[in-house]
Amino acid sequence: MGDRGNIFFVDTRQGETFAGIYMYTHWSGPALPGLVREALARGRGRWGDPPYLARVVFCELVKDSVLEEVGYGLSTRLGDNEHNIVRIDDLGSRVSFHAPGREWRTHDPGVGSWSYEEYLAAPALELERAFFTQLDDGLPGEPKKQPKKPKKPKAAAATKPKTAEKPKAAAATKPKAAEKPKAAAATKPKAAEKPKAVAATKPKTAAKPKASLKASPKAKPKAPARARL
C-alpha cells in the first residue's frame, strides 16, 4: 500500500534528453505540487544552483522523517509511481508535470509548465488540476484518449448487412424447388404413348377373319365334280 510519487530534478541536458535525480516518496504523492512550491519559495536564493537547490527540495520532503529508514528515496532512475512526475528543470528554471517515461524528454510539453515565478504565483487549484489529470491505461500519466468510443457503433452497423444476406440465400433456393413440377410434367407424355401402342395391335387381330372369307369360295366348286361320277 501507499501513494507513491516522484520528483525529477534536472541538472544536466544531453541532446534531446534530460539527466538528473529522482526523489521518491512512498506516502506523499498527492502533496508533491505543494511541497515543491514551498521548497522553491524557501530556496529562492539557490535558483540556478542545482546541487544546493536539490538538497533544499529533498529536505522539504523528509523534514518530518529525517531519521526514518523508509518512506523516501533517491535514485538515478524512476521507481514506483502512481502520479504524474513533477519535473524541476533548474537549467531552464521551470516546473512541469509529465507522464511517467516522458519526463526525461526535452521536447515533451507535459500537462502543465510554469517558470519558477509563475509556479509560485499559480493558484493551488490550477496546479492540482494539472497534476491529477487522469492517466491513460496504455501509458500512465497521459490524458485519456476518447476517440475510440465512436468506433463501436460503426462495427455494429457493419454486421447488420451480413445478417440480412440470409433471406437472399433462401430466396435463391426457391426457383430450384419450382423446377421439380416441370420435370414431373415432362414424364406425363411418355405415359400417354402406351395407349397408342395398344391401338396399333388391334388391326392385326382383325385381319384374321378376312383370311377365312377367301377360303370358303374355293371349297364350293368341288361339289359338282362328285356329281359327274
pLDDT digits (tens, 9 = 90+) for 66-107: 888 999 999 999 989 999 999 999 999 999 999 999 999 999
What integer best gives the mean pLDDT of the chain? 75
Query: Which one is predicted more confidently, 27 or 134?
Result: 27
pLDDT for residue 164 is more than 80 = no
Beta strands in the chain (DSSP E): 5-14, 17-25, 72-75, 85-89, 94-98, 112-115
C-beta separation of 95 from 104 below 8 A? no
| Average pLDDT estimate for 61-65 | 92
Share above pLDDT 90 across residues of the chain, in percent, rounded to a whole number: 53
pLDDT of residue 19: 95
CB 158 within 8 A of CB 165: no
- The confidence band for 48, taking pLDDT boundaries of 50, 70 and 90, is very high
Rounded CA separation 72/63 (Å): 11
Question: What gap in Å lies between CA 136 and CA 99, rounded to an integer?
Answer: 9
For residue 133, what pLDDT is reported? 84
What pLDDT score does 176 carry?
55
Exposure pattern of 73-108 as b/e (b: 16+ CB <10 Å)? beeeeeeebebbbbbbbbeebbbbbbbbebbbeeeb
- Higher confidence at residue 40 or residue 204? 40
Range of 48-52, 157-161, 218-222 with top mean pLDDT: 48-52
- The pLDDT of residue 93: 96
In three-state secondary structure terms, 79 is: coil
What is the pLDDT at residue 88?
97
Q: Residue 25: pLDDT above 50?
A: yes
